[in-house]
Structure 1
Amino acid sequence: MKEMRRPTPEELLSQLKSQPDKGEGTLKIFFGYAAGVGKTYAMLEAAHRAKKQGVDVVVGYVEPHTRPETMKLLADLEVLPTRSVEYKGMKLSEFDLDGALARRPQLILVDELAHTNAAGSRHVKRYQDIKELLRYGIDVYTTVNVQHIESLNDIVASITGVTVAERVPDDVFDRAELIEVIDIEPDDLIERIESGKVYKNERAKKALGSFFTKKNLGALREIALRRTADKQNRAALAEGGAVNAGEHVITCISAAPSNAKVIRTAARLAEAFHSRFTALYVETGGGRHGGGDNGRCLQMNIKLAEDLGAQIVTAYGDDISEQIAQYAKQSGATKVVLGRTNHKNGLFGRKKSLIDRLTETAPELDVYIIPDRQPPYRAKKRYGAVGVNLSWRDTARAALIFAAATLLSLAFFRAGFQNINTISFYMLAVLFTSIWTHGHIYGVALSFASVAAFNFLFIEPLYSFTMYDPAYPAILAVMLCASLLTSSLTSRIKRQAELASGNAYMTEVLLETSQLLNKSEGFAATAEVTERQLRKLLDRPVFIYGETPQGTLALISPAELPDTEKIYQSEEEMGVAEWVRTNNHRAGATTDTLPGAKCLYMAVRGDGGGSVLAVAAVAARSLPPLSALEKNLIRAMLDECGVALEKAMLYDRWVSKKA
């Protein structure tokens, strides 16, 4: 095995640019239903056949086996050195993506498609390494088992009792031009395990007693064959242009632990009907799940839906069933997939479930209910974020309103007015407090304080919480309920008004962006407009990079950056932007490619969606996560910017020729 020097990023980029581009590479997957069926062996045999035909074949990475038959096939093939990575005191051997790109063979073998790379790698997952190889025109052979396919994860787990952590999005499997199913009889596989050809000693006995039962293997084999047949069927329909335009499947995204199963089921249903697939997130007045366990679960479920090909849509409102029904009517959805409602009962008994309300609101929808075995779920209260949002200013406002209501009530009481006027003043105090403070905690607190003050100051005997008249407890209870109801309704109306105002602001920014882009002249002016409008929309640093005459990337905006934004202009950050320009794929923070970056980097493409005209960087590290709506708006603005940049480039050429 010859020694190879690891190239620098500059050498690698220069070498890749100097070589001719043959287009996308071809992906072939050796597909099995369990470990030990012979995927790696079949892949190596196919590599030898390709080598005999004159193909430049290189082994990028093959999982180290103790199986002599498999290792023997590596003898006559060129094997690239692996990359050594330190992780928790251990040295791990990983596939060297940069070394493979520098070698640039016609065909490369990369075992274990679903593998998760060690921390610090360019990509989080190995299938992303393979995607990059394919973009550079390198053909790839790889292997994967059926339990690693994302949409089948729940089905396999229900059969085997094992939930696989390393999974591959369905679109990666479906994009493979060639699928070779490595199929042997379950009895033959069990015999191989018993003879020690797959696992050794105690591990073999443990495998045969749990995962590798004849019943499990038979079911997995059937799923693998059916999934391959479905893939071929979809490919044939796509070539014929057959799309079921009448069907549209939607599902809802939440932070519930069982939501991932619902999303996968909805994706399989959309695939079966060859229909559009939308994942709807309803943001209620309580605010978004920005952090904590709820926020992490929500972001994971949104990413899962994106990986399964769903369009992410955000709706706003407190009535989730009403929002689903409205969106279904507007988008022409025909089927909705929901999880079984297993929330805990309320204080006054069981309320109507989401499914019951939805079937009443939209009886024309086909509703699919996915059961789960998760314990009853209730979102954790976000006291510090939304429910209790204390500030000195709001506390002072509430105290002043309460004091004013008490003074007015005392004045009217001493003037001989009845207590009904006192109650009205305190009700107004609760109403104004709910309007002029943030969160509902002040309105609730003032409701209890008003009842206590009314009892102490205006009910005989005065200056005591004792009550002689038996009617007063009922009056106080009614007053408390009315105050709490007033506070709740006022807070809800206020939140809905804030949401409507936010939507109106976003719409205004989009319209303004469209007008400004139409008026802009020249590449730099167009890019600066886009950067300014994205900053205005997101309220965070945004940068647009364009290509210089020397062929490198540079920040387009000529303005001097403040010191707080210079951290986004490091050499490492520029390297991520350069990678996005070269690969025409997003990277950076919140993605699985170069996730250690401080910004999310996205390509700005022309009208045809091909070449990269510029790169947009949105600050994301140590900032609140971007919502699905914000990401959709960014894509929409960058698409519009790409069209405007193409026109601007034509304008610049015309000006240069005229000069």
Structure 2
Amino acid sequence: MQGEGRPGPDRLLHQVQGEEKPPAGRGRLKIFFGYAAGVGKTCAMLSAAHAAQKSGVDVVAGHIDPHGRPAVLALLEGLEQLPPLAPVGQGAALREFDLDAALARRPALILVDELAHANAAGCRHRKRYQDVETLLRAGVDVYTTVSVQHLESLSDVVASITGAAVQERVPDSVFDSADQVELIDIEPEELIARLGEGKSAAAGQAKRALSAFLTREDLTALREIARRRTADRVNRIAEREKHGKGDRSEEHILICLSGAPSNASVIRAAARMAGAFHGSLTALFVETPDAAGLEEGSGEQLRKNLRLAEQLGARIATVYGENVAQQIADYARESGVSKIVLGRSAPGRRGVLARRSLAQQLAARAPGLDVCIIPDGQSPRPPRRHGRERPAWSAADLLRSAGILAVTSLLALLFRQWGFTEANIVTLYILGVLFISMCTHSWAYGAISAAAGVLIFNYLFTEPLLTLKFNDKSYYVTFVVMFLASFLTGTLTMRVRRQARQAASKAYRTEILLETSQKLQHSETEEQIFTEMGGQLLRLVHRPVLLYPVQEGVVGEPAAFLPPGVQPPADGWDTAEERAVAAWVAKNNKHAGATTDTLPGARCLYLAVRGRDAVFAVAGLALGGEPLDIFERSLMIAMLGEFGLAVEKQRANEEKRRFAVEAEQERLRADLLRAISHDLRTPLTSISGNAGILMANGKVLDEKKRQRLYADIYDDSMWLINLVENLLAVTRIENGAMSIQTEPELVNDVVDEALAHTGRKLGEHRLALDLPDELLMARMDARLIVQVLVNLVDNAVKYTPPGSTITVSARRDGPMVRIEVADDGPGVPDEAKERLFEMFYTAQGKRGDGRRGLGLGLPLCRSIVSAHGGVISVRDNRPAGTVFSFTLKAEEVTCHEQTADPDR
């Protein structure tokens, strides 16, 4: 069911589809910057828009709120204005900027006033600057306005001057990344006069502003801040151009995150310091055993501070430990931190038991670091922890505590009857409190049990018995020592239990991260990578996980991973609305969905799985209204980073393999063309030349010369025919197009058939047959094996001189039949034996006819023999020559076969 003000599936799809065809480049952003409202930012923006329109630029006023100002209304004349948007459920009076209409209109330049404005519920984004970023990504130029008090890093400085905090703020990164910033500057006296005359705002607003904080001194201070911030932006641009995009500064600023409201001002101060030093900024959160017990308000404030640090460009890091100062010092040393920025701690106890502040502890543990203390004007109370203030009561724990105390008292009574001293009985009660602390889930049970143990001891074991009175005053010390020992023992036990739970949780999460890295490294396909990653994310967050693959910017079907016992909603997780949010994340390479400022009405939180240059997947997490804690979030982002690298590596390997195959095909094609251009031209030239001689001089040539020319033409033609047959056969076998039909065949018959098809040059050699078993049979496709034998015999003929001996033999070799073709020619070099069966490879030995082959015959033989399940090989003949041998599956001779084929 859609929530109130939540965009429907059709609208979300329309929003995303409206951005599917952006222009080639990114739009340019120009900010008209001022130190206060009323300096003339909007008028300057409209004047610049008119100038652009006169030069032929398509200009549209996207959202301008004139506030009844005549000058603004006059400048709006002549400009096309987009109708405002009335968000669903917000009333007819509320008007917002219509981003979808702007994307549909897609002008060259659009005017969007008040960049820091917070959109109403029901809009696509929570902040107007996010609408502007969407327009820029769509290739639309934007003119906008902003005042100095709306910059995130300066909001607390301005608030200290004016006394009024600004709620609508813009990240400094938006301001610094603008293509142009124009400072609109007038004298403070002139601004005060404008406000007094009502030219810049309503008369009532002007009077309130003047009476509240717009004094000449305040305006002068704001003007100086705005000028300095504009100059800082110019310096930062010059620094980037000088050193490139990488940060070459050695300054590394560290800020510590907490759930205190004052932590936001500390983060802003650290960001300003990092900008001034052109250094890097890291926000560190130390997770202690009590971190899970933060109040709900403090936890929400911690998440706000985390988002603020991210907006100001900080890198988020999380460590775990009991000693906060030690963890910060260790991290600072390992990460090369040069300065640590802290807020001023609330004053603690004084005297002998005074506890040192965090700054003092850091100074002691890391004396080489600069520790900067930021004053805290709010002085809030420290975050309360449920573990101390609100113990969780349960009937089971109460029964356990009462039972252990009862058993302890019974044992104590037995000890007294057996003659044990009171010291032994006191120790027994301390042991009972220790057991209670181990078996219950709150420190309160141990504290109450310690007090109850003292009372029971007084009631049962001090004179007078069975009363709470005692005669001996020394029992005061006994009771105090007994209570303190019991209380401290129980407290330490509970602390050890909390630390053990936190250590186990940290070890579990770290194990998941390490295991994720190992599993991703061993995954061989992209499908395996997605499966392993989904399982690991599910183990980490224990919530439904959706993984959308992204190919060339298109979001595919998701893989869903659900915890045991969790059922998807009736319409499923992958609704049209949710898919639209995932598509937005894939396109814009940013997070969106639940708990974010972009499309917050979605069911899931969607995060982009990034590589170096693109988005490879989108991960969706069904939060169910419970945001992730900082440690889970940082660990999940690290895992998604590993995920992105693994997918990028897998796709790069696939691309590399594809390029390798293409390169190999190109090499084979080049070899074939080179062979055709050289080796085919030789026989064709010989054929045409001999034919020409016969045509021109056939009558004058004697019969012997004519026969020699006829023989040469025949030999060259047969060579071409065999070449084409081999080439076609290799192609059919490699493509799997040749069908092989094996039957039992007599080897002698196949050898005779092959020798009958060899070239006439075989007559120039001595042929020997070694076929001792006339009934030797093998399973084969006779037509193809004949071609193998023809190629091997022709190969022996071509590479041996006339008069050499060629021997064809066949015999049984276990379950196989081995057929060999041997010669006593010059042989094959050892370095060539390994490559003889490669396509287009020819040995460098001189052929008998002086013609170089294409290197197709032997690869064809290997393909045919392999298709028959045999093996072909080459070895040296003794004392000289070469032996080619191949094997086929033997077939037994039966009487039925002999009778059915009597000619064999």
| Equivalent in the alignment of 1:589 | 594
Q: How far apart, CA to CA, are the structure 2 residues paired with 1:347 and 1:430?
A: 32
**Cα offsets for 1:286-328 (capped at 9, x unmatched):** 1335552222222222221121111222222332222222222
Of 563, 576, 579, the match for 2:584: 579
Pair 1:598-2:603 in alignment:
yes
Pair 1:568-2:573 in alignment:
yes
Pair 1:136-2:138 in alignment:
yes
Of 492, 507, 529, the match for 1:504: 507
| Equivalent in the alignment of 1:338 | 342
Amino acid at match of 2:490: S
Contact 1:387 1:440 in 2 (8 A): no
Q: How far apart, CA to CA, are the structure 1 residues paired with 2:70 and 2:10?
A: 33
Larger mean Cα displacement after TM superposition, 302-311 or 463-472: 302-311
Of 487, 493, 514, the match for 1:490: 493
Pair 1:521-2:524 in alignment:
yes
CA distance change for structure 1 residues 93 and 485 in 2, over 3 Å: closer, same or farther? same
Q: How far apart, CA to CA, are the structure 1 residues paired with 2:52 and 2:251?
A: 43
Contact 2:295 2:383 in 1 (8 A): no
Contact 1:107 1:138 in 2 (8 A): yes
| Equivalent in the alignment of 2:433 | 430
Of 283, 287, 300, the match for 2:291: 287
Secondary structure of the residue that 2:94 maps to in structure 1?
strand
Secondary structure of the residue that 1:445 maps to in structure 2?
helix
| Equivalent in the alignment of 2:817 | none
> What is the deviation of 1:159?
1.0
> What is the deviation of 1:395?
3.4
> What is the deviation of 1:9?
4.6
> What is the deviation of 1:449?
1.8
Amino acid at match of 1:318: E
Contact 1:289 1:295 in 2 (8 A): no
CA distance change for structure 1 residues 547 and 227 in 2, over 3 Å: closer, same or farther? closer
Q: How far apart, CA to CA, are the structure 1 residues paired with 2:351 and 2:390?
A: 19
Contact 1:387 1:439 in 2 (8 A): no
Q: How far apart, CA to CA, are the structure 2 residues paired with 1:482 and 1:335?
A: 43
Q: How far apart, CA to CA, are the structure 2 residues paired with 1:650 and 1:354?
A: 48
Amino acid at match of 2:193: E
Amino acid at match of 1:340: R
Secondary structure of the residue that 2:340 maps to in structure 1?
strand
Secondary structure of the residue that 1:372 maps to in structure 2?
coil
CA distance change for structure 1 residues 14 and 287 in 2, over 3 Å: closer, same or farther? closer
Provide structure 1 residue ranges, at least 5 long, that are not aligned to the other structure.
1-5
Secondary structure of the residue that 1:58 maps to in structure 2?
strand
**Cα RMSD, aligned residues only:** 2.7
Amino acid at match of 1:485: L
Q: How far apart, CA to CA, are the structure 1 residues paired with 2:649 and 2:273?
A: 42
Alignment of structure 1 residues 639-658 onto 2, 5 Å: 639-649=641-651
Alignment of structure 1 residues 629-644 onto 2, 5 Å: 629-644=631-646
Q: How far apart, CA to CA, are the structure 2 residues paired with 1:639 and 1:336?
A: 27
> What is the deviation of 1:279?
1.7
| Equivalent in the alignment of 1:410 | 413
Q: How far apart, CA to CA, are the structure 2 residues paired with 1:519 and 1:361?
A: 42
**Cα offsets for 1:553-595 (capped at 9, x unmatched):** 4222499996633353333222221221222211011111111
Alignment of structure 1 residues 155-174 onto 2, 5 Å: 155-174=157-176
Alignment of structure 1 residues 240-255 onto 2, 5 Å: 240-241=242-243, 243=247, 245-255=249-259
Secondary structure of the residue that 1:23 maps to in structure 2?
coil
Structure possessing the higher radius of gyration over alpha carbons: 2
Secondary structure of the residue that 2:567 maps to in structure 1?
helix
> What is the deviation of 1:155?
1.0
Contact 1:344 1:377 in 2 (8 A): no
| Equivalent in the alignment of 2:541 | 538
Larger mean Cα displacement after TM superposition, 505-514 or 276-285: 276-285
> TM (normalized to structure 1)?
0.92
Secondary structure of the residue that 2:159 maps to in structure 1?
helix
CA distance change for structure 1 residues 8 and 434 in 2, over 3 Å: closer, same or farther? closer
Q: How far apart, CA to CA, are the structure 1 residues paired with 2:463 and 2:302?
A: 54
Secondary structure of the residue that 1:91 maps to in structure 2?
coil
**How many residues end up aligned between the 2 structures?**
649
Q: How far apart, CA to CA, are the structure 2 residues paired with 1:377 and 1:107?
A: 49
> What is the deviation of 1:350?
4.3
Secondary structure of the residue that 2:548 maps to in structure 1?
strand
Contact 1:279 1:313 in 2 (8 A): yes
CA distance change for structure 1 residues 380 and 503 in 2, over 3 Å: closer, same or farther? closer
Secondary structure of the residue that 1:85 maps to in structure 2?
coil
**Cα offsets for 1:38-91 (capped at 9, x unmatched):** 111111111122222222222111123322222222222221111112556453
> What is the deviation of 1:468?
0.6
Contact 2:553 2:586 in 1 (8 A): no
CA distance change for structure 1 residues 397 and 23 in 2, over 3 Å: closer, same or farther? farther
Of 217, 236, 239, the match for 2:219: 217
Q: How far apart, CA to CA, are the structure 2 residues paired with 1:16 and 1:540?
A: 31
> What is the deviation of 1:348?
8.7
Contact 2:66 2:72 in 1 (8 A): no
Alignment of structure 1 residues 438-453 onto 2, 5 Å: 438-453=441-456
Q: How far apart, CA to CA, are the structure 2 residues paired with 1:573 and 1:557?
A: 13
Q: How far apart, CA to CA, are the structure 2 residues paired with 1:86 and 1:121?
A: 9
Larger mean Cα displacement after TM superposition, 114-123 or 592-601: 592-601
Q: How far apart, CA to CA, are the structure 2 residues paired with 1:54 and 1:139?
A: 14
Amino acid at match of 2:52: A
Aligned-residue sequence identity (percent) comes to 48
Larger mean Cα displacement after TM superposition, 525-534 or 245-254: 245-254
Secondary structure of the residue that 1:167 maps to in structure 2?
coil
Pair 1:324-2:328 in alignment:
yes
Larger mean Cα displacement after TM superposition, 64-73 or 224-233: 64-73
| Equivalent in the alignment of 2:267 | 263
Amino acid at match of 1:30: F
CA distance change for structure 1 residues 233 and 560 in 2, over 3 Å: closer, same or farther? closer
Of 373, 382, 391, the match for 1:369: 373
Larger mean Cα displacement after TM superposition, 212-221 or 368-377: 368-377
Alignment of structure 1 residues 21-32 onto 2, 5 Å: 21-32=23-34
Q: How far apart, CA to CA, are the structure 2 residues paired with 1:406 and 1:560?
A: 47
Secondary structure of the residue that 2:93 maps to in structure 1?
strand
Pair 1:390-2:388 in alignment:
no
Contact 1:531 1:544 in 2 (8 A): yes
| Equivalent in the alignment of 1:3 | none
Secondary structure of the residue that 2:78 maps to in structure 1?
coil
> What is the deviation of 1:181?
0.4
Q: How far apart, CA to CA, are the structure 2 residues paired with 1:25 and 1:80?
A: 19
> What is the deviation of 1:92?
0.8
Q: How far apart, CA to CA, are the structure 2 residues paired with 1:303 and 1:16?
A: 27
> What is the deviation of 1:222?
0.5
> What is the deviation of 1:191?
1.9
Q: How far apart, CA to CA, are the structure 1 residues paired with 2:33 and 2:445?
A: 60
CA distance change for structure 1 residues 185 and 86 in 2, over 3 Å: closer, same or farther? same
> What is the deviation of 1:532?
0.8
Secondary structure of the residue that 1:180 maps to in structure 2?
strand
Of 455, 458, 464, the match for 1:455: 458
**Cα offsets for 1:234-271 (capped at 9, x unmatched):** 11111212745432211222222222111111111111
**Cα offsets for 1:110-147 (capped at 9, x unmatched):** 11000000111111110111111112222211100000
> TM (normalized to structure 2)?
0.68
Amino acid at match of 2:226: A
Contact 1:116 1:125 in 2 (8 A): yes
